[in-house]
Amino acid sequence: MTTRFVIVGLCSAVLALGQAAAPPGTSASTPETPRDQARRLLQQGRTLEAEQALAKLTASNPSDNEAWFLYGVLKYLTGYHDAAVQHFETSLALHARNYPARSMRAICLVQLGRLKAAETSIKELLITPEGAADLDLAIAHSQLLYENGSFQRAYDEAARATRLSLSNGMAHYWKARALWKLNRLQDAIPEAKAAAALTPQHSGSHSLLLTLYRAAGLAAEAQQEADWLRSFEERRAKGAGK
Amino acid sequence: MRTLLVLLTLAATGAAQIRFEETSARAGLKVTVRNGATGKFHLVELMPGGLAVIDFDADGCPDLFFTSGAALPGLEKTSGQENRLYRNDCRGNFTDVTAKAGVGGSGYSMAPAVADFNNDGFPDLFVAGVHRNLLYRNRGDGTFDDITAAAGFGGSKNWSIAAGWFDADNDGWLDLFVSNYVHWDPATEKPCGLAGQLFYCHPDQYAGQTHQLFRNNRDGTFTDISAASGISRVTGKGMGVAIADYDGDGRMDVLVVNDSLRSFLFRNRGDGKFDERALEDGIALGENGRPIASMGVDFRDLDNDGRPDAVVTGMVNDSFQYFHNQGAPLYFEDASSASGLALATRSLTGWGAVVADFDNDGWKDLFFANSHFPRLGSLMGLKAQLPNRVFRNRDGGRFEDASAASPALASAAFYRGAVAADFDGDGRVDVVVTALGSPAQLYRNTTPAGHWLAFKLTGTRSNRDGIGARIEVELEGGRRLYNHASTAGGYASSQDPLVRFGLGLAQAAKAIRIHWPSGITQPVPITGVDRVIRVTEKAPLP
């Protein structure tokens, strides 16, 4: 039983995009609307309260595409990707050209393993200017290609993501995973190290490094990563509540 | 006639479709797991439903034991919440013998673990539970003695959720591993969710517990050696336990999966101590490095390379995991994606996990008992009750969902534990699954399956059940099949001690060898197929 944040750092970017897509008449200087309140709760990680606010908002105004979008973001961030897709699709039914909703829907489809639908959506998005510059979409596309077993293309897309943002740990992470599958162990290690350095609390990067070091026969380095993960998990096990 | 059908099916398709039909009512199984839910969302409500295969009367036919919960918050059983023992008439018909056997139990029970701990020829019964564990000694006359306190298991403060018997020190006496979950107290449990929208708390809200190892003192008592053995050095949130010798050193190792934490692999050093090596040996985390909400686990050789692999169930979006054992020095690799299992199970929440060869083709298949959490549907946009699934092992490395051929599997419920055994004696492995608040299901295997062999072991130098014995069957053409004796596996459940092999079209084995925990390797005379072979451990002649 778990809820989780799937892609580190995505929340703020998504919410900013969502705000950009808001209909005219909303501005930072106006008093906090119920929708603004829901967005703030989301940004603060108060997901249960955000759930309540968004359920109320969408029930009271089912034609509020922005509220449905935020509801989709909430479901995405709490790991309920099926519900997220449903909410993004409701948002898109109301505002078909809402790029953030299209992008987030595609990303959720990747997470759900609905790869054919995800591929169709991502291909449509990548030919748009927003899509070509969308870092999160590039990372999701890399993951999609990886899960399809297209490791060279997954690497190419992750490399493109690192060109969009050299400081994004997840881009390096997927680059490293693709390189590992391409039997380029020595190239994968520095990418995984970059991922771990840029997102130090992302256990996946440390786990990948552990795998790579084990494969490379670098026992001391592997043990260091194992110790990091052991300590990280032990803290989580003993902690009685977040 | 059936053999002819099997041969025709296998010859025509190269493989048979796995098929089950649901027969619980016809077979007399009337068991519903009661979790004591009162609408207050106590975490324990989610977890009960363990069951066991136990041939308690030693007639050679697998009987069944079911656990049940208790009233909340008191953790005492009321009418209808007793654990149940069902006797099998050897044709797959069951009679409730709980009262006579004296195993209705007390407290909030979770998980049985079955083995003959006192080497008297009759399987005994440990029942893990919430703040109360039970140990029953089988008297051999259809009744059991509750020896919990005398054996040293009284006064538990743990929430024990699974247990497994194995001979940790290969002294011929079975020891007991207990998987513990979190510190939880109904009196102090805080509500989670929002007013008017209560929900179960995430396990992150509770501190984890350490696991336990009890050494068999050979006199009906046990000593807690968790600290001395190194087992309690790590804190987890334990769920399923499965036991196998993953490094081929002749000593059984323990794999524990944890809820939303990495898994633990306790490597048996052979000097009374265990090293926790899941990270170093590649089985702690899946390929993406993220711990999953693991529930069930089984630990058997899925590709017939002589090394046990592992299968782990998890929560929706986790994907179930298949760890392939490559042997030293790297041991495990996460092969979930390559095997097809990851994508096929991403939308499932799985509890029971069973590895067994359902079509007797020589490749062990997978069965999963599933359900999301009650009320989770509104959060997820999904139905919380789920159907069960069976996956056919195509060639030792790829699994395909074979559930569609069995309409009986499509019935959705809050399924939990699962065990597999040949209950009707037809040579095909059947499955029993429990469910919260609805009847347990008995899936009778009707697959036009291949030939088979099963081994009923009697240890002499080794423990009487032969738990830990590894069996190798060589077929004409050089194909080798492997399996081992263990009752530990699944979710909160105890599996059949019989060691089974599907042989496909082979009408005979070319050679059979048993590697006993004592170190003895014993060849077994070839006596044909489609039978249970009883083997008593014998030292080789000097």
Low-confidence residues of chain A: pLDDT under 70: 1-30, 239-242
List of residues 6+ apart from B100 with CB closer than 8 A: B142, B143
CA distance to partner chain A, nearest, from residue B294 (Å): 8
What are the CA-CA distances from residue B99 to residues B86, B144, B460, B493 (Å)? Answer: 10, 11, 33, 22
Rg of the Cα trace of chain A? 19
Write the ipTM.
Answer: 0.84
Q: Do A237 and B237 touch (CB under 8 A)?
A: yes
Rg of the Cα trace of chain B? 21
Q: Which residue of A1, A81, A85 is in closest CB contact with B203?
A: A1
* pLDDT one-digit tens code per residue, B332-391: 999 999 899 998 999 899 999 999 999 999 999 999 999 998 776 666 667 899 999 999
In a domain, A168, yes or no: no
Kindly tell me if the per-residue pLDDT of B412 is higher than 50.
yes
DSSP at B200: P
Cis preceding-peptide flag for B329 (omega within 30 of 0) = yes
Task: Write the secondary structure of B5-50 as one string of H (helix), E (strand) and C (coil).
Answer: HHHHHHHHHCCCCCCEEECHHHHCCCCEECCCCCCCCCHHHHCCCC
In a domain, A53, yes or no: yes
Asked if B84 and B98 count as a contact pair (C-beta separation under 8 A), the reply is yes
pLDDT of residue B378: 65
In a domain, A156, yes or no: no
What are the CA-CA distances from residue A142 to residues A105, A154, B492 (Å)? Answer: 16, 4, 38
In a domain, A185, yes or no: no
Set of chain B residues whose Cβ sits within 8 Å of the Cβ of A2: 202-203, 260, 292-293, 315, 318
Give me the sign of the Cα torsion angle A42, A46, A49, A52.
positive
Distance of CA A192 to the CA centre of its chain: 18
Mean pLDDT, residues B36-59: 95
Q: Do B202 and A81 touch (CB under 8 A)?
A: no
In a domain, A87, yes or no: yes
Greater confidence (A26 vs B227) lies with B227
Identify the residue whose tokens are 């993953």: B246
> Helices A185-198 and A203-216 sit at what angle, rounded to 10 degrees?
150
In a domain, A217, yes or no: no
Mean pLDDT, residues B493-500: 98
Q: Which residue of B262, B292, B317 is in closest CB contact with A81?
A: B317
Give me the sign of the Cα torsion angle A17, A21, A26, A32.
negative
Set of chain B residues whose Cβ sits within 8 Å of the Cβ of A52: 194, 197
Q: Do A1 and B183 touch (CB under 8 A)?
A: no
Q: Do B289 and A205 touch (CB under 8 A)?
A: yes
Q: Do A242 and B205 touch (CB under 8 A)?
A: yes
Q: Which of B7-21, B27-41, B295-309 has the lowest mean pLDDT?
A: B7-21
In a domain, A239, yes or no: no
Q: Do B289 and A112 touch (CB under 8 A)?
A: no
The domain in which residue A13 lies consists of 1-20+33-148
* pLDDT one-digit tens code per residue, B145-200: 999 999 999 999 999 999 999 999 999 999 999 999 999 998 888 888 776 778 88
Q: Do B285 and A207 touch (CB under 8 A)?
A: yes
Cis preceding-peptide flag for B191 (omega within 30 of 0) = no
pLDDT of residue B373: 85
Q: Which of A203-217, B181-195, B243-257, B431-445 has the lowest mean pLDDT?
A: B181-195
Mean pLDDT, residues B87-110: 98
Mean pLDDT, residues B292-310: 97
| Lookup: tokens for A59 | 């029930």
CA separation for the pair B156, B133 (Å, rounded):
7
CA distance to partner chain B, nearest, from residue A19 (Å): 24
Q: Which residue of B280, B290, B379 is in closest CB contact with A80?
A: B379
Closest CA to B397 of B440, B372, B364: B364
Q: How confident is the model at residue B16 (pLDDT cuts 50, 70, 90)?
A: low
CA separation for the pair B58, B452 (Å, rounded):
22
pLDDT of residue B126: 98
Mean pLDDT, residues B498-518: 96
Kindly tell me if the per-residue pLDDT of B293 is higher than 50.
yes
DSSP at B251: S
Kindly tell me if the per-residue pLDDT of B17 is higher than 70.
yes
Secondary structure (3-state) at B483: strand
Set of chain B residues whose Cβ sits within 8 Å of the Cβ of A82: 347, 380-382
The CATH number linked to A116 is: 1.25.40.10
Set of chain B residues whose Cβ sits within 8 Å of the Cβ of A205: 289
| Lookup: tokens for B62 | 């697998």
* pLDDT one-digit tens code per residue, B310-324: 999 999 888 999 999
CA separation for the pair B419, B412 (Å, rounded):
18
Q: Do B204 and A239 touch (CB under 8 A)?
A: yes
Asked if B133 and B160 count as a contact pair (C-beta separation under 8 A), the reply is yes
pLDDT of residue A19: 53
Greater confidence (A12 vs B456) lies with B456
Q: Which residue of B193, B261, B319 is in closest CB contact with A48?
A: B193
In a domain, A80, yes or no: yes
**Residue B401: CA count within 13 A, CB half-sphere:** 17
pTM recorded for the entire structure: 0.92
| Lookup: tokens for B396 | 């030792």
- Number of domains chain A is built from: 1
The chain A residue lying nearest B277, using CA atoms, is A226
Q: Do A115 and B282 touch (CB under 8 A)?
A: no
- Helical H segments across B441-514, by residue range: none
CB pairs under 8 A between A and B: 122
Mean pLDDT, residues B120-149: 98
As a dihedral over the C-alpha atoms of residue A238, residue A192, residue A11, residue A134, rounded to 10 degrees, the angle is -170
Set of chain B residues whose Cβ sits within 8 Å of the Cβ of A237: 207-208, 234-237, 258, 261
The chain B residue lying nearest A229, using CA atoms, is B279
Q: Do B379 and A211 touch (CB under 8 A)?
A: no
- % of residues, chain B, pLDDT over 70: 95
Q: How confident is the model at residue B40 (pLDDT cuts 50, 70, 90)?
A: confident
